[in-house]
Copies of this chain bind each other. A is one copy, B any other.
Amino acid sequence: MTEKDGSDDRLFPTEPSVRSIAKELYSQVKDVPLICPHGHVDPRVFADNAPFPDPAWLFIIPDHYVHRMLHSAGISHAALGLPGVDGRRGETDSRRIWRILCENWHLFRGTPSRLWLEMELSEVFDVHTPLSAATADEIFDQLTERLNEPEYLPRALFERFNIEVLATTDDATDELASHRSIADDPWPGRVIPTFRPDKVIDPERPSFHDSIRTLAEITGEDTTSYPGYLAALRQRREYFRGFGATATDHGHPSALTAELSNTEAEHLFKRIIEGDFGPQDAELFRGHMLMQMAAMSLDDGLVMQIHPGSARNHDPALFARYGPDQGADIPAPTNYVDHLKPLLNRFGNEPSFTVVVFTLDEATYSRELAPLAGYYPAMQLGPAWWFYDSPHGIRRYRELVTETAGFFNTAGFNDDTRAFASIPVRHDVARRIDCGYLAQLVAEHQLPLDEAHATAYALAYGRAKEVYRL
């Protein structure tokens, strides 16, 4: 990605000789295709290939990184036009919403949201005017114009972004209609689903029973019996595999995994289904089901992903009005050394199994995760996640992980985003930081340049492709 604002050196180390090595490394990876093995883009975007809506809908309303920061400064969600769970919105004028962002752009100084949005405007949308109250309308107009041009349609961008494969994240009960539509279309873009069964596995979700019932309907299995429930899950995994899925994803409160006997599991499941359980039962059931998911992965080859450690919906007022995933999920301490032990003891040495583990608790990078990933063949460490998908966040990840686990127990980059148009700049930031880290190793005489090149390529492309079996 070439920049027009003279900032070709963006995010590279500042010492000139190191920066020069970083640029040399980066020059060889900046244009390699994007592997997007984990993300949250709606597949309808590609099925429909409709123009993106206006700037407020593109950059603010669905982006919890953005509206949480504005909220932290006292700007209400209503003023930002967030749709409530009842479908109602406060502000509905997208231009006014966009102005709020521009007027408060100083809040984002030093954050990746700012970095991404500025890079995106410049490099994707060819808009080079700095954001401010004064320029808000001008930029709004420029963007609106672009969004209606054919080269800004989703599929055109997919191709321009040089995306080799993009995985979405889909409920276990999703019929994958958009994926079917994409598959039936001559358009060659590779968009694949990811099997995310949280709603049918976590009994503490309000929708659990409904989801279980839907699962029964679409599989024809009796999901109120434990064997039927497992069979239904197996069937759905196979269904996802039919659409090209190579991975599952599990977002649990903790990383707990648990080994139950079949009898214990049956009893627990019965109580879960009957609603006769407490928080510890729910936790145990989730832990047990991670083991079952791993066992199924051994059979069907789906790569397992575990995303633990977020205390979801910290603000009940937000949850009540706007629902989940609106910026009030807060990381909590996470234990991997004890919690993953059952799973790793049973499956961690299996050659055909891969589990990618993520964290929001940076204290575990060097203490637990790198030592575990640096020992168990099945375990790969996912990239710096969520709040840590940022220049310092990625640097810390490499600094805390590499010396114990090397580069080849890490899973490459995930953009993990709903915001399709931000994908190339997110990858670009990671590539720049990784090249900077490698340049430092070269400059400190820890690594020769040719091996740094090979590693940069692995981190930008090869690791994600290999780990996710893409």
A contact residues vs B (CB 8 Å cutoff): 7, 9-15, 17-18, 68-69, 71-74, 106-112, 114-115, 130, 311, 314-317, 327-333, 335, 337-338, 341, 344-345, 348-349, 351, 360-363, 366-368, 370-377, 379, 387-388, 390-393, 396, 398-400, 402-409, 440-441, 443-448, 451, 454-455
> Complex: how many Å from CA A14 to CA B444?
7
5 of the cross-chain contacts (CB-CB < 8 Å) are A12-B444, A71-B375, A330-B375, A370-B387, A393-B403
> Complex: how many Å from CA A366 to CA B396?
11
- Checking B314, B351, B373, B403 against A110 with a beta-carbon cut-off of 8 angstroms, the contacting residue is B403
Which residues of B sit under 8 angstroms from A337, Cβ to Cβ? 311, 314, 330-332
> Given A363-B362, A406-B108, A451-B109, A446–B72 Cβ distance below 8 Å?
no
- CB-based contact B374/A72 at 8 Å: yes
- CB-based contact B106/A408 at 8 Å: yes
- CB-based contact A376/B315 at 8 Å: yes
Which residues of B sit under 8 angstroms from A368, Cβ to Cβ? 330-332
- CB-based contact B447/A110 at 8 Å: yes
> Complex: how many Å from CA A376 to CA B72?
5
- CB-based contact A316/B345 at 8 Å: yes
- CB-based contact B409/A72 at 8 Å: yes
Which residues of B sit under 8 angstroms from A373, Cβ to Cβ? 72
A155 to chain B, nearest CB (A): 31
> Complex: how many Å from CA A421 to CA B454?
30
Which residues of B sit under 8 angstroms from A11, Cβ to Cβ? 444-446
Specify the chain B residue showing the minimal Cβ separation from A399. B392
Which residues of B sit under 8 angstroms from A335, Cβ to Cβ? 333
Specify the chain B residue showing the minimal Cβ separation from A438. B110
